[in-house]
Structure 1
Amino acid sequence: MVKSDLASEWCLLQNQFDSYEKYSLLIKLVSVVVLSAVFFSNRLSVVVLFLLLILWLQDAIWKTFQSRIENRLLQLEGYLSNKQTPEDGDSRAYQFNSVYSKSRPSTIGLIHEYLHQAIRPTIAFPHVALLLMAGSVLFVS
């Protein structure tokens, strides 16, 4: 185990993890812009609700990818701090995909992961609020 390689992998993945956070916020911003644009143009329809749902699911999928990076980051941090002992070669650097493939869930498992991410408060809050706003305007009017 070469700690400098593990540290390099940690830096690489940490930058990627932060990037995923930025893009998740961008997806939320796109949802706000979409709803605002259709609201102010008086073109609110059920199609927009479906578009907002798709953006919500896309955000959940994006955050699922980020959580996979988080798992590897935590593993690397354990190795780098000497608080965790390596198992099955997981302590070798640059093994993100190999480690993930060992525990990759089935298709149903992946869908469950995406839905689990979708209901996390930090993901769900803006999307639910936008859907409620759009729904109240669309169905109350």
Structure 2
Amino acid sequence: MNALHQEWLALQAQHERYEALALAVKLAAFAAVVLVPDNALALALLALLWLQEAVLKTFQGRLGERLLAVEAGLKSGQAVAAMQLHSDWLATRPRGLGLAGQYLRSALRPTVALPYPLLMLLALWG
């Protein structure tokens, strides 16, 4: 098995792990609504968990970008340097507001954002 195959297997496993972690964050958000008696604290925890999930999904997206590059190289047979996830990301890494913008875009994706406003309404009515 060559290095690109090994990289793909490792990246795919981590990509799926981030999906599981995002689900765990959603479950923690639900638990916060149910278990935290103070509405203000529950809302603060929900906001924090929403941001945490956005960060996880941003990281997952970076892995996905590298997975696509590796897959394109494997499919075409063209040379793609293996094990370059961080070097490639560092070369295009946004700074300051650009990085914050990535996290915000992740937070507003429907698959991330959907439960949080609903849970916040539940926390307010609780």
TM-score normalized by structure 2? 0.94
Superposition deviation, residue 32 in structure 1: 0.5
* Residue 26 of structure 2 is aligned to residue 53 of structure 1: no
| Selected match of 2:85 from 86, 96, 102 | 96
| Bigger Rg, structure 1 or 2 | 1
Per-residue Cα deviation, 1:49-76 (whole angstroms, up to 9, x for no partner): 0111000000000100000000000000
Q: Which residue of 2 aligns with 1:74?
A: 68
- Alpha carbon RMSD of aligned pairs, Å? 1.5
Matched position secondary structure for 1:105 = coil
Distance 1:96 1:122 in 2: 25
2-structure distance, mates of 1:120, 1:99: 24
2:97 to 94, 99, 108: 108
Give the aligned partner of residue 33 of structure 1. 31
- The CA deviation string for residues 83-124 of structure 1, in whole angstroms up to 9 with x for no partner, is 7x55xxxx2111110010010001211100000000100000
Note the alpha carbon deviations across 1:20-43, whole angstroms, 9 max, x for none.
0000000000011111112xxxx2
TM-score, normalised by the number of residues in structure 1: 0.84
**SS in structure 2 opposite 1:94?**
coil
Q: Which runs of 4 or more aligned residues in structure 1 lie more than 6 Å from their structure 2 counterparts after TM superposition?
A: none
Correspondence for 1:5: 3
Unaligned segments of structure 1, at least 5 residues: none
Structure 2 unaligned runs (5+)? Answer: none
User: Residue 131 of structure 1: CA displacement?
Assistant: 0.9
**Which amino acid counterpart does residue 4 of structure 2 have in structure 1?**
L
Q: Percent identity?
A: 38
